[in-house]
């Protein structure tokens, strides 16, 4: 499969009903500010838990990364 065909297949798969793309990229300082407002330390464990909380919602299906 050539690159154009592969790209078209990827777009077709993502554009199906119930499928999509979630972009969730925040800088360290931005997430630290968000956590500070709720009294949570900005460390790796809490950042991972926060991302999981946003991405692992019932009915959303599996999200591989955020």
17 inside domain: no
15 inside domain: no
56 inside domain: yes
pLDDT of residue 63: 53
Please tell me the distance from the alpha carbon of residue 66 to that of residue 21, in angstroms, as a whole number.
10
Residue pLDDT, tens place only, 27-51: 889 989 989 999 999 999 998 888 7
CB burial class (10 A; 0-12, 13-18, 19+) of residue 39? exposed
19's CB contacts (< 8 A; 6+ apart) are 13
65 inside domain: yes
Query: Higher pLDDT residue, 14 or 46?
Result: 46
21 inside domain: no
Query: Higher pLDDT residue, 59 or 24?
Result: 24
Q: DSSP code of 39?
A: T
Tokens (6 digits) for 23: 């972009």
Q: Would you place residue 10 in the very low, low, confident or very high pLDDT band (cuts 50, 70, 90)?
A: confident
Task: Look up the domain containing 32 and give its range.
Answer: 27-66
């Amino acid at each position: 499969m050539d690159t154009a065909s592969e790209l078209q297949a990827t777009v077709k798969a993502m554009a199906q009903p119930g499928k999509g793309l979630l972009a969730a990229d925040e800088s360290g300082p931005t997430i630290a500010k968000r956590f500070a407002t709720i009294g949570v330390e900005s460390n790796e464990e809490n950042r991972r838990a926060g991302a999981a909380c946003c991405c692992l919602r019932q009915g959303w299906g599996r999200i591989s990364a955020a």
